[in-house]
Structure 1
Amino acid sequence: MHQPARPVSAAVALGGCDLGVVSAVAEFYRAGLFPTVVFTGGSTAATRGRFPRGEAVHFREEALALGMPKEAIMLEPRATNTGQNIDFARDMLEDAGVEVRSVLLVCMPYMQRRAYATCRRRWPQVEPVCASQTVAFDEYAKARDDEAEFIAMMVGDTHRVMEYPHRGFAIPQEVPEQVRESFERLRERGYDAWLLRD
């Protein structure tokens, strides 16, 4: 979304299959952009093999290995979708007495629009800023274990950006025609494993 990372009240690191999220969190923390981060994410079909104890648990361990102090980290290990990531992290911060006016959503690069739209729907009182590790698309794609799976996950994420507003899960966003056409071409070519099912 090309939103420059900036100082915020707190950060929320959304679970997923990419430890690059944790590298970005550690970098932003060292830059003094937030005092507290919530790592949120349980075990899902997409990540169970890689993170058997849950996304947030593995992310927290990686953050500690990167030198983040444990006092700066909150762990939310139950969420299994982006709406729950936002809801459960919000509730944890509120229960801890953290006043949140702005939040840095740190996620996989291709997930930023969905994270933003979900936060605006589920937590409208805060100003969300989305950020990810800084990496070129080609480099990011080459680092994935399975390129076809990676493309299918991006197609699935785009499907959610388009469909979730109709289901009340996110605010609507403009999706350029070129993106819609690319989505249809990729779906027709069989990259449909992570599409929404009725």
Structure 2
Amino acid sequence: MITSEIMAAAQKLWDYHHMNHTLTPADCILALGSHDLRVAERAAELYLKQLAPLVIFSGGLGNVTKGVWTEQEADRFAQIALQKGVPAEAILIENQSTNTGENILFTQKLLHEKGLNPHRFLLVQKPYMERRSYATFKKHWPEKELLVTSPQTTLADYPNDEIPLEKVINIMVGDLQRIRIYPAKGFQIPQDIPEDVWDAYEQLVAWGFNKHLAS
């Protein structure tokens, strides 16, 4: 049972994971693949609002989609964008990456092969992965300008049949742990974690939300 105390702690993590960037026009939109098709819809929305002339979809099959989907995440995302009205010539696809670091590194390679060198990116990710994606991108591509966004939803409205609330909370807890430990591994730039956010994390771990913790 998800109590009001659990929801209050989870809300602290949800709010922290958001970067709250104000979006302005950029050179390209980079949408990171996952199980969440709403990310593709958000990327298409930004393109149709003329915030960037190019959309890159990055993602092979990751932890959640491997063994569940037969189509690569980026390919599935691109189909959604086409259905929403994004023209094929405005889309690039990188469909081999399996984690956020590879998303960035393989996108770098793709752009180099295409002779493209965008400087300003709009990165689209799941709501609870905004901050970790930002920290990973800036580690691997520090010279680029970056704004991060995600599907516009609340914590209460985000869960669905594919990713129920309990799973969302477990992933948020795991991602916060990674924000703390990954800089030392060279995976991300450091991010300050306020004391009250870390207290909420420790409460959630104590309540059993530890299924997504790194070993």
Which of structures 1 and 2 has the larger relative contact order (alpha carbons within 8 angstroms, sep 6+)? 2
TM-score class, shorter: over 0.9
1:83 aligns with 2:83: no
Of 139, 147, 152, which residue of structure 2 is paired with 1:134?
152
Q: Which ranges in structure 1 are unaligned for 5 or more consecutive residues?
A: none
Of 133, 136, 154, which residue of structure 1 is paired with 2:172?
154
1:113 alignment counterpart: 131
Counterpart Cα distance in 1 of 2:126 and 2:103: 14
TM-score by length of 1: 0.93
2:38 alignment counterpart: 20
**Cα drift, residue 142 of structure 1:** 5.4
Partner secondary structure for residue 203 of structure 2 = helix
Q: Output the aligned Cα RMSD.
A: 1.5
Partner secondary structure for residue 123 of structure 2 = strand
1:194 alignment counterpart: 212
1:48 aligns with 2:66: yes
**Cα drift, residue 176 of structure 1:** 0.7
Counterpart Cα distance in 2 of 1:31 and 1:75: 21
**Cα drift, residue 99 of structure 1:** 2.1
2:200 alignment counterpart: 182
Partner deviation per Cα, 1:142-181 (whole Å, 9 max, x = no partner): 5754221111111111111111111111100100111111
For 1:161, give the aligned amino acid. I
**Cα drift, residue 50 of structure 1:** 4.6
Extract structure 1 runs of 4+ deviating beyond 6 A. none
1:31 alignment counterpart: 49
Q: For this pair of structures, how many residues does the alignment match?
A: 197
Percent identity for Structure 1 against Structure 2: 38
Q: Which ranges in structure 2 are unaligned for 5 or more consecutive residues?
A: 1-18
For 1:108, give the aligned amino acid. K
Partner secondary structure for residue 137 of structure 1 = coil
2:114 alignment counterpart: 96
Partner secondary structure for residue 205 of structure 2 = helix
Q: Check conservation: 2:29, 2:47, Cα contact below 8 A.
A: no
Counterpart Cα distance in 2 of 1:10 and 1:42: 20
Partner deviation per Cα, 1:118-158 (whole Å, 9 max, x = no partner): 11110011011101121122111357542211111111111
Inter-CA distance 152–39: structure 2 relative to 1 (3 Å threshold) = same
Partner secondary structure for residue 159 of structure 2 = helix
For 1:46, give the aligned amino acid. V
**Cα drift, residue 184 of structure 1:** 1.2
